[in-house]
Chain A
Amino acid sequence: MAQIEIKNVAKRFGTYQALHDINLTIQDQEFMVLLGASGCGKTTLLRIIAGLETATTGEVSIGGRRVDHLAPKDRGIAMVFQNYAVFPHLTVFENIGFGLRMQKLPNDEVKDRVERTAELMHIEQLLKRYSGELSGGQRQRVAVARALAMEPDVILMDEPLSNLDALLRMEMRAELKGVLATSNTTAIYVTHDQVEAMSMADRISVMHQGEIVQAASPIEVYRNPAAEFVAGFIGNPPMNFLPAAPAGDGKWTVAGQVMDGPRSGKPLKFAIRPEDMRPADEGLTATAKVVEPLGAHLLITCEVQGSMFRAVLDSDMSVNPGDQLTLAPQPDRMRWFDPDTTLAVA
């Protein structure tokens, strides 16, 4: 059992506050992705869990045991580094067996476990090579195998796929997810790539400026962003925002249209995903500016009462720049945000 509990963790580098009071519980065998733009503190949080960085305040527990004062090796973790950190002077075999050798396991067991994990990662034919003779993808596999060979309770991954080319990244994504699902380890995975996060995670923690803005399942993060930042960060293209003026009794005026919304007295922001817009007889009036046929659908960047607005429409539609469109939002997909707190309003 390796549930990870992070309580009130904060980190300060000099005058820079990298993390503010982080609270997060990661369930046993859960695949948790820390997602955010660079500089949001996700790697710092991972390094604090690993023990490579010390939190300024707060507690970290793994499997019910406080680990903040333990050395990384005593935390029951293994890690995959962004630049792989595959030791250049050791063969692939010795790289995968490095941690096992440090534990002074007998040779037979080292050999057995190295060969088993190498097979799992499909690199059994590379065991005698040095890292200088490997491709980026192969090094990546060695780094993952080295972590898995430890049979850790928790496996920490710091942007492990960011140095691979797009095709390889997609392939490794699926493979990594499969391997980790069968390994019964709790995984924390840091990435800035939302597609990676959406496709791999059991749960995503979206981080922004040293805080966790939302921690929820991928579909929840996508459908019900807890804050404007999440709505604007997740999804490609991201959510559209339009100012909404109260029209009394749960009614709102958005770009001249009256819509049903939450009961609130002050102005809100109306938000909708581009793919949740439909051409209709009645709705928002939009002027198409740029039309991008993407094969599966049509991405239209338009203007709605002076604001930029994107819609994803069926590729059969014929739209030209300058055309006037009437687009209606799907009622159950409309979201509302408080412009002061930037949080979602239900």
Chain B
Amino acid sequence: MNARLLPYVLILPVTLFLCLFFLYPFLLVSKQAFSTGAGFTLDNFREVTGYWKFPITMRNTLLLAAAVVPIQLALALLMATMVNRMKKGRDLVLYVWTIPLGISDLAAGIIWLAIFEQSGFLNSMMSGLGLVDKPVNLLTFQNPGIVFLAIMLAEIWRATAIMLVILVAGIGLIPKEYYEAAEVFGASPWKRFLRITLPLLRPSLQTALVLRVILAFEIFAVVAALGGTLFPVLMGETYAYQFDLLNSGAAAALALIILAISIAFTLIILRVLRVPKGATI
């Protein structure tokens, strides 16, 4: 086998697979989004963006991402730094911390529903401690703050680990000598984190943030379990268009809007956290 051709031959199966099961459906969805039966049109986009719920779902989705992702980033950085300092038991701690990764998002939503619902753990605890007379319904339209908080907590619990594992790997790649040099030249632990860890972690931060932000815009099952219709998000609306309203053109248009937002944020993250030429480890 020709050595120059071999790499291309080896990636051929996965390329074909992706073309068949990703690119082709994507083209179909695009076609659906831009047509209503007769020729090219933007009607589907006009319909979904003109609907009264669209600004709310957009706002909710962005708000949730803005609230959850920075907290997850800070937590993941803190946890990764701590794990990295551990001499013994590091793997065990890492396994425990990444358990939520193995749970589906719907299951995660249901676990947190079991905590927050009227007959849930939180209510039993509060009545057990005598804080409330009778169990209260926390997840109602009267308590939008609590609904938002519950969704936030579930998301943080569920999806911080994906950033954690990426950052742990990234921190492990930074040579110890840089920290020693920084220490000798007068950098405090906090300064070492700011001036050594963060900048040298940029490639990992890029990956972790891109992945996490995309997932944040795709949030669906956790919101469905905890908020139902109280907290509409973009993906939930897409689902409603497709399966409740049976309007697949509008669903396709909304899906493309989500894709556009994801791509935009990905480009922003890649741009902001870019590493100048010659400045890699």
- Residues on A lying within 8 angstroms of B by beta carbon are 50-52, 71-73, 77-79, 81-83, 85, 87-90, 98-99, 102-103, 129-133, 146, 150
Q: Which of B182, B187, B278 contacts A133 (CB 8 A)?
A: B278
Q: Which of A52, A82, A99 contacts B186 (CB 8 A)?
A: A99
Instruction: In the A-B complex, list the 8 residue pairs whose CB atoms are closest, starting with the nearest.
Output: A102-B186, A132-B278, A99-B185, A130-B278, A85-B181, A73-B186, A133-B278, A89-B199
- Residues on B lying within 8 angstroms of A by beta carbon are 175, 177-178, 180-187, 191, 196, 199-200, 202, 275-281
Given contacts A73-B185, A88-B279, A98-B187, list 18 more A-B pairs with CB under 8 A. Answer: A73-B183, A73-B186, A73-B187, A77-B184, A78-B184, A79-B181, A81-B177, A83-B175, A85-B175, A85-B178, A87-B178, A87-B182, A88-B200, A99-B185, A102-B187, A131-B278, A132-B278, A146-B185
Complex contact B279–A132 (CB within 8 A): yes
Complex contact B278–A89 (CB within 8 A): no
Given contacts A130-B278, A131-B278, A132-B279, contact A89 B184 (CB under 8 A): no
Best-surrounded residue of A79, A89, A129 (most CB of chain B within 10 A): A89
CB neighbours of B279 from chain A (8 A):
88-90, 130-132
CB neighbours of B186 from chain A (8 A):
73, 99, 102-103
CB neighbours of A102 from chain B (8 A):
185-187, 191
Chain A proximity of B185: nearest CB distance (Å): 4
Q: Which of B182, B183, B200, B280 contacts A132 (CB 8 A)?
A: B280
- In the assembled complex, 18 residue pairs joining A and B whose CB atoms fall closer than 8 Å, in A order, are A52-B184, A71-B183, A73-B183, A79-B180, A82-B177, A85-B178, A85-B180, A87-B178, A87-B181, A87-B182, A88-B279, A89-B200, A89-B275, A89-B279, A130-B277, A132-B278, A133-B278, A146-B185
Given contacts A85-B178, A89-B279, contact A78 B199 (CB under 8 A): no
Q: Give the residue name and chain of the A residue nearest to B183 (CB).
A: A72
CB neighbours of B175 from chain A (8 A):
83, 85
A133 to B181, CA, bound (A): 20
Chain B proximity of A67: nearest CB distance (Å): 13
Chain A proximity of B277: nearest CB distance (Å): 7
CB neighbours of A129 from chain B (8 A):
278
A98 to B199, CA, bound (A): 14
CB neighbours of B181 from chain A (8 A):
79, 81, 85, 87
CB neighbours of A90 from chain B (8 A):
279
A132 to B181, CA, bound (A): 18
Chain B proximity of A150: nearest CB distance (Å): 7
CB neighbours of A130 from chain B (8 A):
276-279
CB neighbours of B191 from chain A (8 A):
102
Q: Give the residue name and chain of the B residue nearest to A73 (CB).
A: B186
Best-surrounded residue of B177, B180, B182, B185 (most CB of chain A within 10 A): B185
A83 to B175, CA, bound (A): 10
Given contacts A87-B196, A130-B277, contact A98 B182 (CB under 8 A): yes
Best-surrounded residue of B184, B186, B187, B275 (most CB of chain A within 10 A): B184
Q: Which of A72, A82, A131, A133 contacts B184 (CB 8 A)?
A: A72
CB neighbours of A81 from chain B (8 A):
177, 180-181
Complex contact B184–A79 (CB within 8 A): yes
Complex contact B185–A150 (CB within 8 A): yes
Q: Give the residue name and chain of the B residue nearest to A75 (CB).
A: B184
CB neighbours of A133 from chain B (8 A):
277-278
Chain B proximity of A292: nearest CB distance (Å): 40
A90 to B196, CA, bound (A): 10
Complex contact B280–A98 (CB within 8 A): no
CB neighbours of B185 from chain A (8 A):
73, 78, 98-99, 102, 146, 150
Complex contact A52–B183 (CB within 8 A): yes
CB neighbours of A89 from chain B (8 A):
199-200, 202, 275, 279
